[in-house]
Amino acid sequence: MQYIILDTETDFESWRKAARMLVLHHVKPTEVTWAVQGGEAELFAPPALSPILEVNDGTFSVSAKFVELAQTAILHRDPQRFAILYRLLWRLKDNHDLIEVATDPDIALATAMARAVHRDEHKMHAFVRFREIGRERAAHYVAWFEPEHYIVELAAPFFARRFADMPWSILTPDLCAHWDGHALSFTPGVSKSEAPGEDRLEETWRRYYASIFNPARLKVKAMQTEMPKKYWRNLPEASIIKPLIEDAERMTGAMIANAATDPHKPQKRPEAPMTRKTVTNDLEALREEAAHCRACPLYKDATQTVFGEGPQNATIMLVGEQPGDKEDLAGHPFVGPAGQMLDRALAEAGVDRNKVYVTNAVKHFKFVPRGKIRLHQKPATPEIKACRQWYEREVSAIQPDLIVAMGATAAQSVFGKITPIGKNRGRLIDLPDGRKALVTVHPSYLLRLPDPEAKVLEYQRFVEDLTIAASLQKKSAHAA
């Protein structure tokens, strides 16, 4: 039998060294007894310890995941932890995949230990309560805490990073941690009587605790699952938990039973909460009216109506399908990727962007949510029809010479019927009201093309179509 005595309860390095040697000497887990200096198990060790094993030349490796697991599990208070971890190491050296087998009893045991340690650490971060000694700049903050496992060294750096600007001490029965504003240090454990008994802010904290509690939602079990009673004795707010619970029923009953008092007459408000923009011209009036459009159900799920934009004296009106994700959020047409492509093509075609009005056939974004994104949906004919009034009113407000319909939905709206793009693109078409129309693809169609060559080709055709618009624009500018 080998007796291994570790220096402290949290002495991972010595455990690791010893475990390494034991494995290399083929010492079976059943042949090792682990103990800690001054601990109880040590009493049973024979007076003359077995000779310390010499380091052997051999080597073996285990996964980093095990080292991590062992480093945490070793902080558990269970005296068997050293033996359990050694047994696991013994089995892992020939079976590396074992570490992934959650159903293995040893893995399950070690994992449960590590989980308990992490939970205790987390609870220490949460439930330590500092009490002020001295005032303001000369203050020192001292807390008393009773951890379930050996976690003081594990948890202390968190407090050092968080409260870097104040000197503090956390006293526990195992070990005390201190921060002087520069470095962490540890001293042996003390008793509770060493810790301060109160803090001037605790009454304020209790008042907050009582006020933030909603007596109509009493769920004592849920509270106790997360904040077990064992922590209560060191929490200043815990003293009022019982009275709060006892009073909850009465308070809720009173809220329900008491008839509402006569409504308090609000004072005259100094300012209307939502100011509406003042209407300046026809287009602005239209925009304001369209913002409240309920002509089809699309408004319900969309963020806002995305109305057309551009100068009232525009000579060209570009009509797209509908706003996309980004347009819906921003409230402006063609600000997303398709808009950037359109801007580039317009510039290449030589269209004067300052004389262009851009809008969409349908003015709300139609989509279905898929997790964190929204999938674009093609507008249906009733939606296109319902929205057409806005397009017509935009046309009469702007009186453009040319209307460019981009994509099938726009073409359907501009011509009032389904109008294929392939057959009609690339030439000026007369509209019944004497205006010219031009049909082309929607820029988002270009974005969707998978084949890069087709993309270049189709983009060229798109620019060519827009060149027709540019030459018409130049002609009319010349005429004016």
Confirm or reject binding of residue 223 to another protein (CB under 8 A). yes
For the chain, count helices (H), then strands (E): 16, 14
CB closer to another protein out of 143 and 387: 143
Confirm or reject binding of residue 94 to another protein (CB under 8 A). no
Tokens, residue 412: 């359907």
DSSP SS3 for 462: helix
Q: Which of 133, 197, 127, 190 is nearest to 155 (CA)?
A: 127
- Least Cβ distance, residue 29 to another protein (angstroms): 20
Candidates 183, 256, 479, 480; binder of another protein (CB under 8 A) is 256
Helix (H) or strand (E) holding 156: helix 152-162
Confirm or reject binding of residue 136 to another protein (CB under 8 A). no
User: Beta-carbon neighbour count of residue 81 at 10 Å?
Assistant: 24
Candidates 108, 418, 454, 457; binder of another protein (CB under 8 A) is 108
Confirm or reject binding of residue 464 to another protein (CB under 8 A). no
Torsion sign over Cα 427, 433, 435, 437: negative
Amino acid identity, residue 300?
K
DSSP SS3 for 319: strand
Q: Where are the beta strands (DSSP E) in 134-209?
A: 140-144, 168-171, 175-179, 184-188
User: Beta-carbon neighbour count of residue 325 at 10 Å?
Assistant: 16
CB closer to another protein out of 119 and 427: 119
CB closer to another protein out of 223 and 456: 223
Tokens, residue 456: 């270049």
- Least Cβ distance, residue 225 to another protein (angstroms): 8
Residues 373-392 contacting another protein, CB under 8 A:
373-374
Region near another protein per CB under 8 A, out of 75-83, 96-104, 400-408, 411-419: 96-104
Cα–chain-centroid distance for residue 381?
38
Q: Is 288 exposed, middle or buried (0-12, 13-18, 19+ CB in 10 A)?
A: middle
Residues 225-254 contacting another protein, CB under 8 A:
226-227, 235, 237, 241, 244-245, 248-249, 252-253
Query: What residues contact residue 226 under an 8 Å CB cut-off, 6+ apart?
Result: none
CB closer to another protein out of 162 and 475: 162
Confirm or reject binding of residue 448 to another protein (CB under 8 A). no
Amino acid identity, residue 428?
L
CB closer to another protein out of 245 and 295: 245
CB closer to another protein out of 161 and 423: 161
Confirm or reject binding of residue 132 to another protein (CB under 8 A). yes
Give, rounded to a whole angstrom, the gap between the first and last alpha carbons of the chain: 107
Candidates 46, 51, 263, 432; binder of another protein (CB under 8 A) is 263
Residues 4-63 contacting another protein, CB under 8 A:
none
Confirm or reject binding of residue 64 to another protein (CB under 8 A). no
Residues 334-373 contacting another protein, CB under 8 A:
367, 369-373
Residues 180-219 contacting another protein, CB under 8 A:
181, 199, 201, 203-205, 207-219
CB closer to another protein out of 204 and 389: 204
CB closer to another protein out of 98 and 447: 98
- Least Cβ distance, residue 363 to another protein (angstroms): 14
How far is residue 171's CA from residue 234's CA, in Å, rounded to a whole number? Answer: 12
CB closer to another protein out of 126 and 279: 126
Residues 148-167 contacting another protein, CB under 8 A:
158-166
Instruction: Write each residue from 305 to 334 as x if it is in contact with another protein (CB under 8 A), else as -, in one continuous string.
Output: ---------------------x-xxxx---
Residues 278-297 contacting another protein, CB under 8 A:
291
Q: What are phi and psi of 2, to 5 degrees?
A: -100, 130
Confirm or reject binding of residue 265 to another protein (CB under 8 A). yes
CB 355 within 8 A of CB 427: no
* Beta strands across the sheet bearing 184-188: 131-133, 140-144, 168-171, 175-179, 184-188
Confirm or reject binding of residue 119 to another protein (CB under 8 A). no
- Least Cβ distance, residue 3 to another protein (angstroms): 32
CB closer to another protein out of 33 and 63: 63
How far is residue 480's CA from residue 478's CA, in Å, rounded to a whole number? Answer: 5
How far is residue 420's CA from residue 411's CA, in Å, rounded to a whole number? Answer: 8
How far is residue 107's CA from residue 63's CA, in Å, rounded to a whole number? Answer: 13
Candidates 14, 303, 424, 467; binder of another protein (CB under 8 A) is 303
CB closer to another protein out of 273 and 432: 273
Strand bridging mode 402-406 / 436-440: parallel
Confirm or reject binding of residue 277 to another protein (CB under 8 A). no
